[in-house]
Amino acid sequence: MTNNLKSIDDVFITHYRKLLEIQRNVFNECREYNFDLNSNEITQAIHDRMSAFWDFHVYNAKQILDRKINTGGADFFTETCLLFLKAYFEQKYNVIVTSEKSLLKKGNSMRPDISIWTADYEEVLAVVELKVNDGWKGKNIMAHLRDREEKIKILYPNSYFGVIAFWNFFDESDLNLDWRNKYVGLYRYDRHDRHEKTNGYVEDIMKSIELTLPAYLLKEKETVAV
């Protein structure tokens, strides 16, 4: 019996439709999970998700479709980091972790990749910008990030600001760079796929955020636990 186009493509469609429920289940389990920020397991999970993303999209583009550019990973990187930061901080504290939310209540303003807010959306507690690499800004990326931080601090002076890059473009030896506490690059890109880890991890950023959270948030959590 000859297959029609629908039956040929259904195997892909069926698999793709299952991903939402899989993601929902993963997120719900993560919300109950006892994270250990000293284990670096979140960084490894992010690496594995990004590798899976590239395994499909890069090889699909190059080997099957003969596409001359790769599918960008920036949005997927944001969603991947957001999944774990949201699961961790919302489980542990009375906060809201979101993405692309305007920092101003009225009008257009900066929309950080990840922002952590008080439960009433009155105060920004932390901002984390995410970069797969230094992109088209190249050597000007640090000036851009510092300008970004200055503008955010004008609006929310007590907020934390940090940056996570998947492919590291930070100078780890720069004594003026707050490496690991504020700026973190996860892997060193190698065109032969021998990507070395740095000594910076997503967990470092998460620990730094915790150190800047208002004390009352921890007290609220302790009260609920009792």
pLDDT in tens, 20-55: 999 999 999 999 999 999 999 999 999 999 999 999
The DSSP code for 38 is T
User: What are the percentages of helix, strand and coil residues in the chain, rounded to 5?
Assistant: 50, 15, 35
pLDDT at residue 163 above 50? Answer: yes
Dihedral sign of CA atoms 90, 93, 208, 44 in order: negative
Secondary element (H or E) of residue 28: helix 5-31
The pLDDT, as a whole number, for residue 226 is 42
pLDDT at 219 over 70: no
pLDDT at 164: 98
- Pairing label, strands 114-118, 160-167: unpaired
C-beta of residue 206 within 8 angstroms of C-beta of residue 193:
no
Percent of the chain at pLDDT exceeding 90: 81
28 closest CA partner among 120, 90, 100, 116: 90
Q: Is the pLDDT of residue 13 over 50?
A: yes
209/104: higher pLDDT: 209
Beta carbons within 8 Å of 53's beta carbon, 6+ residues apart? 73, 76
Q: What is the mean pLDDT of the chain?
A: 92
Of 54, 44, 74, nearest to 193 by C-alpha is 54
**For the residues 144-165, what does the mean pLDDT come to?**
96
Cβ–Cβ under 8 Å, residues 181 and 202: no
Using the predicted structure, report yes or no on whether residue 224 has a pLDDT greater than 60: no
pLDDT for the residue 140: 95
How far apart CA 158 and CA 108 sit, in angstroms, is 22
Residue 193 has pLDDT above 90, yes or no: no
Q: Where are the domains of the chain?
A: 5-225
Amino acid (1-letter code) at residue 154: I
In sequence order, the β-bridge partners of residue 164 are 130, 184
Map residue 198 onto helix, strand or coil.
coil
Residue 125 has pLDDT above 70, yes or no: yes
pLDDT at 225 over 60: no
Instruction: Give the CA-trace dihedral at 186, 160, 40, 223, to 10 degrees.
Output: -170
Residue 216: band (very low, low, confident or very high) from pLDDT cuts 50, 70, 90:
confident
Edge-to-edge strands, sheet with 95-98: 95-98, 114-118, 124-131, 160-167, 183-188, 196-197
Backbone φ and ψ of 170, nearest 5°: -85, 150
